[in-house]
Amino acid sequence: DVKVTQSSRYLVKRTGEKVFLECVQDMDHENMFWYRQDPGLGLRLIYFSYDVKMKEKGDIPEGYSVSREKKERFSLILESASTNQTSMYLCASSPRTSAGNEQFFGPGTRLTVL
Amino acid sequence: AQKVTQAQTEISVVEKEDVTLDCVYETRDTTYYLFWYKQPPSGELVFLIRRNSFDEQNEISGRYSWNFQKSTSSFNFTITASQVVDSAVYFCALSGRPGAQKLVFGQGTRLTINP
C-alpha cells in the first residue's frame, strides 16, 4: 500500500519560531510537493521538487523554504512563523513520467501559529 | 495561465438524491489532464479519476460519473443516489502539457449528504 506520511497531524507554534514540517513517501517517487489549504482558496502550491536537492517555487513561496536531501523526504521550513501561516499543510508525491500523473497525498498537518 | 473554477462552495442534499459538482477550467495547452479528488473528514485527499484532453468519453464508476466537455471547458462530476459516506470536500484539478507535474486546484466544493 502506497504511503505518504507527515510528521504531525496537529502543531501549535508561537510567532517567530522556526517550524519544520516533514514528509516521507515510500513509493520511490521523484516528485514531491507542499501545498497549503485554506477555506475558499483550495490547495495552493508552495514548493515542489523534481529530484534530490532540486527545488522550485510554487505559487506562494514567500515565508517558506524547503529541503530535499533524500529522495523519500521533503521538508517544509517556516523560518519565522507568523499568524498568517496558520493553515492546513499537505504533502504529496508523484512519479516522473511523460503523462499527467495523479499525486498521492499525506494526511495533512494542521498548523496553528499563536 | 491555468485556472480551475468550482463555483459551488457548498452543497447540501438529502440522502439518495443525485448531485452534480461543477468544474470549469482554463488552459492554453492542447494536451492536458483533469482530475477529481475527494477529501473526507480525515483530511487525506483521495484520487478519484484522471482524464486526458483527447478522451472526451464520459466515464461511469458505480454511482459516480464524469462528463467532460471540451467545448465548454467543463469536467463535471455526478453522484447518483448519494449516501452519507459521500460527504466530503471535492476538488477538481488540472495539469498541462505532457510531463508537467504540477496540479492547479479549484477552490473545492463541500458536499454534505443528510440522512
pLDDT digits (tens, 9 = 90+) for B11-39: 999 999 999 999 999 998 888 899 999 99
Confidence (pLDDT) at A98 = 58
Q: In chain B, which residues have their Cβ closer than 8 Å to the Cβ of A94?
A: 101
* Distance between B97 CA and the closest CA of chain A, angstroms: 8
Residue of A43, A59, A60 to mutate, interface with B, max B Cβ within 10 Å: A43
At B43 the pLDDT is 86
pLDDT of residue B45: 93
8 A C-beta contact, residue B4 and residue B90: no
pLDDT tens across B54-101, in order? Answer: 888 888 889 999 999 999 999 999 999 999 999 999 999 998 765 557
Q: What is the pLDDT of residue A39?
A: 87
DSSP-assigned beta bridge partners for residue A10: A110
Mean pLDDT by 10 residues, chain A (114 residues): 88 97 94 93 92 92 96 97 97 81 91 97
- Does the distance separating the beta carbons of A92 and B47 come in below 8 Å? no
- Closest chain B residue to the Cα of A59, Cα to Cα: B104
**Residue A62, number of CB atoms within 10 A of its CB:** 6
Nearest Cα of chain B lies from the Cα of A57 at a distance, in angstroms, of 11
Q: Which long-range contacts (CB under 8 A, 24 or more apart) does A78-82 make?
A: A78/A13, A78/A17, A78/A18, A78/A19, A78/A21, A79/A18, A80/A16, A80/A17, A80/A18, A81/A13, A81/A14, A81/A15, A81/A16, A81/A17, A81/A18, A81/A19, A81/A111, A81/A113, A82/A15, A82/A113
pLDDT for res B35:
94
Q: What is the mean pLDDT of chain B?
A: 91
pLDDT score of B57: 81
Set of cell numbers at residue B6: 468550482
Rounded to an integer, the average pLDDT of B41-55 is 89
Interface A-B, measured as beta-carbon pairs within 8 A, has a size of 63
pLDDT of residue B98: 53
pLDDT on residue B55? 83
Closest CA to B95 of B27, B48, B37, B44: B27
